[in-house]
Structure 1
Amino acid sequence: MNYDKEPTVFIVEDNEDAREALCFLFDSVRLKTETYPSGDEFLKHYEPERLGCLIVDVRMPGISGLELHKELIAQNALIPIIIITAHADVPMAVRAMKAGAFDFLDKPVNDELLLERVRQAIEYDKQRRQEECKRQQLLERLEQLTPREYEVMKKMLQGNSTKVIAYDLNISHKTVETHRGQIMRKMQAKNVAELVRIGMGCERTIKFLYRE
């Protein structure tokens, strides 16, 4: 996937004047925008691989902003969401933030504050996607290992010598060396220190993907 495309600020707001005002604000700082009059309309057109952030009003005809947020989470669409409303209350804000909203802002929103939070949300989305790409690359490398190579790599990462690994796994010293060579090649590591660094990333990847 290409995550270097121009980011988009997606605006979901049923009030046409408010949509136009937000578009004007983001156009003034050369941020690309797309607007939708309802959450349902946004869901019809949204593509999760697109970089950016979402600004959504809470109260709209049809699906509300909070319901749209829940639906995106259910679809595993992790775009950062800034919720804005003229009818805020503390419990609503708490629910939104606990559900993973990037921010919750009261109307009328200060332009400079909104621009700052949108830039931060876009940067967050970039970093998240880059990390996701790295995790996928690491997982692909791991999947190339045979079960035995995976066992050997775990013991290497624990600091065990070739002799100890051979003894623990009841295989020859030469077999361990062969596995080591295959592991270094498949994991694209130049030396053991680099393998350790990659291995730490693999551990985080496995925990993230399988929630271990």
Structure 2
Amino acid sequence: MSTQPCVFVVDDDDAVRDSLGLVFEIAGLAYQTFASAESFLESYCPGQPGCLVLDVNMPGLDGHELQAELNCRHIRLPIIFLTAYGDIPMTVRAMKAGAVDFLTKPVSTALLIERVQAALQQLEINTLAQAMQGQAACDRLNGLTSRELEIMGMVVAGLANKEIARRLGISHRTVEIHRARVMEKTGATNLLELVRVYEACRQ
């Protein structure tokens, strides 16, 4: 899988795909074009960095439905909607669902390139920040004993202290002590924070 960011163009109009491809090629950006949301989903490799330039009105899955599907799959590609039929409610809906921009056709080449490059730069910043958070989380987990790591995994999995005690053959009080040490060493103040530390290190 390539780590070079790619601009993914999803639009059912052949002429639009061709013209956008030419724009991105001249700008020196890697790109791929797709005639439908379904073909994009079949082709995309999760984790491949890039930006999605997405039409709204398409046969089959429309742009909003593709955005919802990507959110369900936890695919965090920045999305720039590009449509000839945009309105305020449509724009609000897209932005609330996580789109980074909403542009109306025809759009100037300079503006489109500017917005795409901004989205790719923000993606790079977010990826770096996530990596740093993951490293910080791992550093905190490295301070745990093997028993504390074992209990942390069970806590994150949703097991109650009594069930953990039963599975490990130790007392309920011992589980409580280990659990308190896990919270202290990881800096987590509640279960949600503990889950975030655990998941960040696993990424």
1:121 maps to which residue? 119
Helix, strand or coil at the partner of 2:17:
helix
1:7 maps to which residue? 5
CA distance in 2, matches of 1:144, 1:23: 47
The residue type paired with residue 209 of structure 1 is: R
- Aligned-pair CA distance for 1:207: 8.3
1:209 maps to which residue? 196
Question: Are the structure 2 counterparts of residues 123 and 207 from structure 1 closer, same or farther at C-alpha, using a change threshold of 3 Å?
Answer: farther
1:158 maps to which residue? none
- Aligned-pair CA distance for 1:146: 2.5
Question: Are the structure 2 counterparts of residues 117 and 141 from structure 1 closer, same or farther at C-alpha, using a change threshold of 3 Å?
Answer: same
1:143 to 134, 141, 153: 141
- Aligned-pair CA distance for 1:50: 1.3
- Aligned-pair CA distance for 1:80: 0.3
Question: Are the structure 2 counterparts of residues 99 and 207 from structure 1 closer, same or farther at C-alpha, using a change threshold of 3 Å?
Answer: farther
CA distance in 1, matches of 2:57, 2:95: 17
Map 1:52-131; keep pairs closer than 5 Å: 52-131=50-129
Identical-pair percentage: 38
Aligned pair count reads: 160
CA distance in 2, matches of 1:116, 1:104: 13
1:26 maps to which residue? 24
Larger radius of gyration: 1
- Aligned-pair CA distance for 1:127: 0.9
Q: Cα RMSD between the aligned structures?
A: 2.9
- Aligned-pair CA distance for 1:85: 0.8
CA distance in 2, matches of 1:144, 1:100: 34
- Aligned-pair CA distance for 1:134: 1.1
Helix, strand or coil at the partner of 1:79:
coil
- Aligned-pair CA distance for 1:141: 1.4
- Aligned-pair CA distance for 1:33: 0.5
The residue type paired with residue 94 of structure 1 is: V
Residue 131 of structure 2 corresponds to residue 133 of structure 1: yes
1:172 maps to which residue? none
Helix, strand or coil at the partner of 2:127:
helix
Helix, strand or coil at the partner of 2:94:
helix
- Aligned-pair CA distance for 1:124: 0.8
- In the superposition, the TM-score normalised over structure 1's length comes to 0.68
CA distance in 2, matches of 1:121, 1:146: 38
The residue type paired with residue 55 of structure 1 is: V
Question: Are the structure 2 counterparts of residues 144 and 66 from structure 1 closer, same or farther at C-alpha, using a change threshold of 3 Å?
Answer: same
2:15 maps to which residue? 17
- Aligned-pair CA distance for 1:126: 0.7
- Aligned-pair CA distance for 1:26: 0.5
The 8 Å contact of residues 48 and 79 in structure 1, kept in 2 or not, is answered as no
- Aligned-pair CA distance for 1:48: 2.6
- In the superposition, the TM-score normalised over structure 2's length comes to 0.71
**Which stretches in structure 1 are left out of the alignment for 5+ residues?**
150-182, 188-198
- Aligned-pair CA distance for 1:7: 1.2
Runs of 4+ displaced beyond 2 Å:
206-210
2:182 maps to which residue? none
CA distance in 2, matches of 1:8, 1:73: 19
- Aligned-pair CA distance for 1:133: 1.0
CA distance in 1, matches of 2:48, 2:144: 35
